[in-house]
Structure 1
Amino acid sequence: MKMMGFTRRQWLTLVVISIADFCNAICVSLQAPFYPQEAERKGASATEYGLVFGVFELVVFIVSPLYGQHLNKIGVKLMFNGGIYTTGICAILFGLLDKVEGHYPFIILSFVIRIIEAMGNAAFLTASFAIIAKEFPDNVATTFASLETFFGLGLIVGPTVGGALYQIGGYTTPFAVLGTALFCAAILTGIVLPKHESGRDHAIGSSIFRVLKIPGVLLSAFSIIVTSMSIGFLQATLEPHLRQFGLSPIILGLMFVINGGTYAIIAPLWGWLCDRTCPPKVVTVMGTILVAIAFALIGPAPFVNTKTLLWLTILGLVIHGLGIAAQLVASFTDALRTSM
């Protein structure tokens, strides 16, 4: 494999970003198993706490192009490290929300913290994509998919360990422990990550609007939006959907692991296919079909003609993990290749 020929600098970059991806995913996925229940105790409706989840992806969508446009001025490493620090601090602050009394103060602070956390996450992602494209120009899809494996592992650890810590110490404990872990990872990346100079020849580049006029990039962007919507939808609704089974917090956390675990395992395979044999657009189409099948089973859809079954939900989550891995890996790869 070409990865065996990586330089020391490339391996160091890969290891550091992998650790950051892992810890970042933990904090992003941490809220899903028990935040809806806490929000309902404060008097929040499903729409309100659903928007708390949804605003995260919305902010990432809005600010990521702005970060990309000013990446050269800010600096790749500064944006990368600043994003991780911000996400870690916000994760810790999110764990203090149970101390807030009153419906509206709770929801408003949830939105504020989640928005700032999304801004930090967008900075981290934008910088990491730039680093991957610069350091691994011949293995973009494979490298991106390998890093996404660690992100998927973080999606596994976040709900699982979070559920266990919630059962042991209550609402604040998982946020304090795992948010601190991300903060420590930020310190590590600040010390270890090699300095990545932004090329001055790219300082004046195409605007986001010009790039989005390219049909291939627009299609990839739409695919990423749809995939993010499917992930956010499950984060907000899976826990209420599973209450009928009376699962413990630990088992409930494991349910949130299924699609993330599948994502972590299968993402490198999709990346290899995109780099070697299969056009990314074909992989994207395969991913959308898999995600559609997954939601039909999780619901279940009326034409499935059955009541909600735990094994059917698990099967749907596995297929969802397969689908989002295909869509994200292929869409990011295709957008980068097409725009270049």
Structure 2
Amino acid sequence: MKPVNTGEITPKQQKAALLVVGLAVFTDMMIYGVVVPILPQYATSLGASPAQIGILFGSYGIALLLASPLFGLLSDRIGRKGPLLWGLLGLAATTLLFLAADSFWQLVAARALQGVAAAATWTAGLALVADVYPVAERGKAMGLALSGQAAGTLLGPAVGGWLYQLGGYAAPFLFVAALTLTDAVLRIVLLRKVPDVTASEPRQSRSMLRSRSLLLIFGIVILGAAIPAVLEPTLPLRLKAVFGLSPGGIGLLFMIPTAAYGLIAPLAGAWAARKGNLPVIRLGMVITAIALPLNALGASLWLQAATLALLGIGMGTILSPSLPEMALAADQNGSQSYGIVFSLYNTAYSAGMMTGPLLAGLLTNYFGIEIAYLAAGAIILAYLLLTVVRASGSRGAGTEQQVR
């Protein structure tokens, strides 16, 4: 199968592809979040220690990290539709495993399979959006897809906790099964309307992996993914100590950056399509570097909420333009190996998810949360400086030019 010219794809096909990917990402993140308030308690009832619960939650990121390159290669070789459907089957199997699990290691297997399914869904899904949208429209389309991620992240834990209280352990997974079935019907119907794509020659794909522009964005994605991971193990302790918040109150505050992220992502993507991806990403890095230390200094709940919203805006402004920028790096290499490109995105995101909590925990333990967040902001500013130096050394590169 030869690559598809985006000029031959109709707006109806583009919308069908975007709806498939947006719903797939929403379903994946919804299922990811539904289990968050349930698993620790259930795993504890099976005799799991706190360290084992950490392994349980970490198994998702490890599986995502390991499986993403495989699905990137496969989606470039055989097309996007197969991996998108495999990801759905993986989510269905995950649901059954969670329902049937009666030991800790069965829960780990289910969570790891969830990570494998996410690798298939995200890698092939984002590649499909890049396939069917021209460069000038990719930013907005990618931003809309990320809004599905934000919505799933926002609703998942709340729905999971509510259903657990209402109907016990099985209730959230019965809901997830119904959601997966709905997604399956829509995905199968809509994918028929979308042309499939395979990538260019393997040699082009390998040379693309040596692209300095792509490696630069790889680092930016690691930083963008590490931001929420820095907050999760450290900020709740401060919120409880300073404001006396309950877990429910802390959960409500954490919804603020997610909502801000979901709202800003499509706007940042559309703006980047006009102004260029890297200038918008740099603005997001400045916002984030300022917002991070402020989150450790908030003296009132209103100020804390405002700094969390600012952080969500920064995250969306970093990550949304990063997706089309990675696809653009492939285009400049003469390749349509978007599967490999977005497997790198998943790999970078997983790396950020894993390194963020580790560094934040160590720095907070030895120096306090204020120094930890200040150091995180300084790292972001240092990398921002690197992108500027890199750009000055390659003036006129396509990634620095305004997309027309």
Q: Shared fold (TM-score greater than 0.5)?
A: yes
| 2:115 matched residue in structure 1 | 118
Q: Residue 311 of structure 2 aligns to a residue in which SS?
A: helix
AA matched with 2:197: S
**Are positions 1:137 and 2:103 aligned together?**
no
| 1:287 matched residue in structure 2 | 284
Deviates more, 1:234-243 or 1:311-320: 234-243
**Are positions 1:25 and 2:26 aligned together?**
no
* Alignment partner of 1:326 out of 313, 317, 338: 317
Q: Distance in 2 between matches of 1:43 and 1:236?
A: 23
Deviates more, 1:120-129 or 1:157-166: 157-166
Contact kept? 1:86, 1:117, Cα under 8 Å: yes
Which is greater in Rg? 2
Contact kept? 1:262, 1:321, Cα under 8 Å: yes
AA matched with 2:224: T
Q: Residue 202 of structure 1 aligns to a residue in which SS?
A: coil
AA matched with 1:19: L
* Alignment partner of 2:306 out of 310, 315, 319: 315
Q: Distance in 2 between matches of 1:40 and 1:241?
A: 25
- Once the two structures are superposed, what CA deviation does each residue of 1:147-206 show, in whole Å capped at 9, x if it has no partner? 21122122222122223222322343223313431232123201222243224x625353
Instruction: Measure how far apart 1:56 and its partner are.
Output: 2.3
Contact kept? 2:26, 2:149, Cα under 8 Å: yes
Contact kept? 1:290, 1:323, Cα under 8 Å: yes
Q: Distance in 1 between matches of 2:96 and 2:310?
A: 32
Q: Percent identity?
A: 27
| 1:82 matched residue in structure 2 | 86
Instruction: Measure how far apart 1:322 and its partner are.
Output: 1.3
AA matched with 1:275: A
**Could you list the runs of 5+ residues in structure 1 that have no partner in the other structure?**
none
| 1:169 matched residue in structure 2 | 167
| 1:183 matched residue in structure 2 | 181
**Are positions 1:58 and 2:73 aligned together?**
no
Q: Distance in 2 between matches of 1:136 and 1:66?
A: 24
Q: Distance in 1 between matches of 2:247 and 2:161?
A: 9
| 1:214 matched residue in structure 2 | 211
Distance 1:275 1:195, change over 3 A: closer
AA matched with 1:142: K
AA matched with 2:91: T
Q: Distance in 2 between matches of 1:93 and 1:240?
A: 33
Q: Distance in 2 between matches of 1:155 and 1:289?
A: 24
Q: Distance in 1 between matches of 2:181 and 2:58?
A: 24
**Are positions 1:8 and 2:5 aligned together?**
no
**Are positions 1:198 and 2:197 aligned together?**
yes
Q: Distance in 2 between matches of 1:289 and 1:52?
A: 34
Instruction: Measure how far apart 1:227 and its partner are.
Output: 2.3
**Could you list the runs of 5+ residues in structure 2 that have no partner in the other structure?**
1-8, 332-404
- Once the two structures are superposed, what CA deviation does each residue of 1:210-231 show, in whole Å capped at 9, x if it has no partner? 4332221111112212322333
**Are positions 1:223 and 2:227 aligned together?**
no
- Once the two structures are superposed, what CA deviation does each residue of 1:51-99 show, in whole Å capped at 9, x if it has no partner? 43333233323322222222244431111111123124314533555xx
Contact kept? 1:274, 1:280, Cα under 8 Å: yes
